[in-house]
Structure 1
Amino acid sequence: MQRRVLIVSPHFPPINAADHQRVRMALPYLQEFGWQPHVLAVQPEAVQGVCDPYLQSTIPKDIPITYIKALPVQYTKILGLSNLGWRCLPYLIPVGDKLLREKSFDLIYFSTTVFLSMGLAARWFKKFGIPYILDFQDPWLSDYYQQEGKEAIPPGGRLKYGFAQLMARYLEPSAMQYVHHVTSVSSAYPEILQQRYPWLKSKQFSVLPFGAPEADFKLLPTLNIKQSIFDPNDGKIHWVYVGRGGADMAKALEALFRAIQVNRSQNPQLWKSVKLHFVGTSYAPKGRETKTIEPIAVACGVEDLVTEHPLRIPYFEALQILKDSNGILLIGSNDPNYSASKIYPCILAQKPILGIFHEQSLVVDVIEQTQAGEVVTFRSEDESEDLIKALTAKINQLFKLSQSTPPNINWSAFQPYTARNMTEKLCQIFNQYALS
């Protein structure tokens, strides 16, 4: 007999939002490990984001999904409440209540960065007695931007971020009061949460990265997607970065660009055919997007090599960009808690990788264990000059690898990171807390 889990994930396909990845990767395997999922999500047309219709085809047809409405953004933004959490809350509460009242669930799993929905966890536990697990893909309550000072601008701006943090200070303690277990993508989150809430024990936490999207790369050749960022047949060397930008990545980016400038001064001919593409760096909608990469390139004198495409792009087009590239750049944050889940698609693309990450990032271990590429690490207090020197040598290696055979990846070491293996670990956690 299979147990039943209600998965609360407001961002869900076919909208291309990063925080559905945990759920989407797990759905094909949950039943194999004894769990019948039921997803509670917001109607796709009510979610702001880039729609990728191909994502829908990756969801098993037999998975029940209950879609709820959300208030129209054109009305709520007048009040400064365009966040999906606020817009869907009037519908999430009654629909969630109805599901939990009428269905027999053994567990509730909140897997989302729409943190307001996690505010319902304690309410539902007290009302229905169903255990719940929270999945932290980003910090909910965080003082990172206060520590960084006035130059670091948080996503959405200081006003919206400040209001979100005000709500987090109220809602997170309530959610953590009754939580049974916490999964997270970073080893730093358990430490922070245990310090903040001393009643929580280490056995209530599991560091669980997202599963690698192997099935997506098997599907990709059948879709015949033509990416619009660059022509892979123009004879140039194209290095790509696909993912968000931001002030917290300035240290790594400045070091990269200055190392390139040093290398170019020594080998000017090499760089005449190189182009660096930074894609999907802004979360803002079309017309309101800002560039955070190109200004750093200008300051470092490499603006002729760098092109930034700030708008988000459909998921499978992003995968095609990785496949069409000659090399992949992975840029880390100054925040040691930052763990880039995009490492797995980059490995599966089988292209040379150069990563720049804080030494505490889980990404460092993945790259080194799988031998998928080169990585340069830094500490928060490191001087930029040390990082530039380390990068200069690695850039030469990336040049050589960009024109040779695919990297010799250790696929045995990669196996633990597959979606199936990660889902098995997730279900082992579920089994500890199920009602039946």
Structure 2
Amino acid sequence: MKKILIITPHYPPSNLAAVHRSRLFAEHLPAFGWQPILLTVHEDFYEEELDWNLQQLLPAKQRIEKVNAFNVTKPRLVGDVGLRGFFQLRKRALELLRQEQIDFVYIPIPSFYVSLIGPYLHRKTGVKYGIDYIDPWVHQFPGSDRFFSRHWFSTKLAKWLEPKAVKHASLITGVAEGYYKAVLERNPYLKNSCLTGAMPYGGEQLDHKRLKELELQPYLFRKNNKLQLVYAGAMLPKAYGPLEMIFRCMAEYKDSFSDVEFHFIGTGKLSNDPNSNSIKPLAEQYGLWQTVIFEYPKRIPYLDVLVHLEAADAVFILGSTEPHYTPSKSYQGVLSGKPILAVLHCASSAVRVLEDSHAGIVFEFNGETDIEKIYTGWVEVWNRFLSFRKTFKSESVSQNVFEQYTAKAVTSQLASLLDKVVTKMK
């Protein structure tokens, strides 16, 4: 077995969505000849609520190394646990490299700052490293153009630090090509010095099997005689435009949506604040709140999300006006066995997943200039979805198509890239 050190500040029992990237890679890498060592920050230093059920999803003999971190100060100056645990992670990583024969270091980001450990380790030991973009680092957030604002500083810092992090990387991967394409454009020498690969979040059928064994029950809403759809996960800043077009249409054609409920779970502006609503203000503006639209802002545990997806009548997926965004919730939706209604940028890789597998109806649009199309076409798409749902059977979803998007298949792509890097080293 070749050894790979995965540096991921958050890991189960953290309930952050990004932990599943490392978790699923680590679960399946041994099948392809790579033994993972997970280096993470101890859960005592996490700010989010812990989800101990996630521990039951980990292989029994998985090797996990934990370090301490600096506590969050009052007032809260630094929250990012990757930054609070940066020096501890770096120190332990160097110790592991000097004590053992580790063939590669892999760093999923965010936390973005942890990527700077890669070039440090390379300089000290010569080990090759790679960075996995779960989110883009250099990114124009709303407010980034306001001088000396928090987002302005973050963008400036990202532009300065990212070239230092990727300079000696041997591998750059991402959830989709668009997540790292701009990195190569900003640092063109990388096209010749490192390998790249796009690998989506994979779906893990075993998680749903374990879910049934735990016998968890839904608790956010009760079954009634209405058609209930669930959207689960954070809202991206550039998803509100498409959502407003949907709300605007539903407000105008209320009779068509009188027997429908959309439940938004974990969409709050603050992950642990049950009052940080992001959907409610928009729903109130269009007179849909607590009749058609319901929101539960606080993030709930991963397995609880799966329970509510399975309790719903259908799954609602909303993409962004940015073409690179591929919602990982697409794969969870397929595995829930429920019909899917999705609104996605036409360039999103999830479009093909859902259409080719016959898992749902996809409403495609082409960026910010095309969102008016959602308002004018929503009723027609909704009626198509209702017809689709009447004949939908979970067993009719094409598993052959979906096979390439399973966590194991996605991990095989990573393993192939790792083997090429190691072979190139020799």
TM range (shorter): over 0.9
Task: Report whether the alignment pairs 1:124 with 2:121.
Answer: yes
| Other-structure match for 1:153 | none
- The reply on whether 1:413 has 2:413 as its aligned counterpart is no
Aligned to 2:416: 428
User: Paired residue for 1:222?
Assistant: 213
Query: C-alpha separation between the residues in 2 aligned to 1:288 and 1:338?
Result: 26
Provide Cα deviations, 1:177-229, integer angstroms capped at 9, x if missing partner. 10111111122134311210010117721111111121101111111111211
Matched-pair contact (CA < 8 Å) for 2:269–2:277: no
Report the 3-state secondary structure (helix = DSSP H, G, I; strand = E; otherwise coil) of the residue aligned with 2:315: strand
Unmatched tracts of structure 2, length 5 or more: none
Q: Which residue of 2 aligns with 1:155?
A: none
TM-superposition CA deviations, 1:340-379 (whole Å, max 9, x none): 1111110001111111111221211211221211111112
2:265: which partner in 1? 279
The amino acid across from 2:86 in the alignment is L
Name the structure 2 match of 1:53.
Answer: 52
Aligned equivalent of 1:331, options 304, 318, 321: 318
Superposition pairs for residues 24-39 of structure 1, below 5 Å? 24-39=23-38
Q: What amino acid is aligned across from residue 113 of structure 1 in structure 2?
A: P
1:90 alignment counterpart: 87
Partner of residue 81, structure 1: 78
Could you tell me the percent identity over the aligned residues? 28
User: 1:38 offset after TM fit, Å?
Assistant: 0.4
Deviates more, 1:125-134 or 1:387-396: 387-396
**1:79 Cα shift?**
5.6
Q: Which moved more, 1:336-345 or 1:137-146?
A: 137-146
Q: Which amino acid aligns with 1:87?
A: R
Aligned length: 420
State how 1:46-195 maps to structure 2 within 5 Å. Answer: 46-73=45-72, 75=73, 77-78=74-75, 80-145=77-142, 159-195=149-185
> TM-score of the superposition, structure 1-length normalised?
0.91
The separation in 1 between residues aligned to 2:82 and 2:155, in whole angstroms, is: 14
| Residue 146 of structure 1, CA deviation | 5.6
Q: Please say if residues 360 and 388 of structure 2, whose CA atoms lie closer than 8 Å, have aligned partners that are also in contact.
A: no
Asked if 2 retains the 8 angstrom alpha-carbon contact of 1:326 and 1:403, the reply is no
**One-letter code aligned to 2:25:** A
Greater relative contact order, per chain length (Cα 8 Å cut-off, separation 6+): 1
1:201 to 173, 191, 197: 191
What secondary structure, in the 3-state scheme, does the structure 2 residue paired with 1:70 have? coil
What CA RMSD, in Å, does the superposition of the two structures yield over aligned residues?
Answer: 2.1
1:366 aligns with 2:353: yes
- The Cα of 1:259 is off from its aligned counterpart by 2.8
Structure 1 pair 199–312 and aligned structure 2 pair: CA distance change class (3 A): same
CA contact (8 A) 1:11 1:112 kept: no
SS at match of 1:178: coil
Question: Is the 8 Å Cα contact of residues 273 and 297 (structure 2) preserved in structure 1?
Answer: no
- Aligned-partner SS, 1:145: coil
Residue 262 of structure 2: SS of its match in structure 1? strand
What's the CA shift for 1:402?
Answer: 4.7
| 3-state secondary structure, aligned to 1:28 | helix
Structure 1 residues 228, 403: CA separation in 2 closer, same or farther (over 3 Å shift)?
farther
Structure 1: tracts of 5 or more residues without a match: 151-157
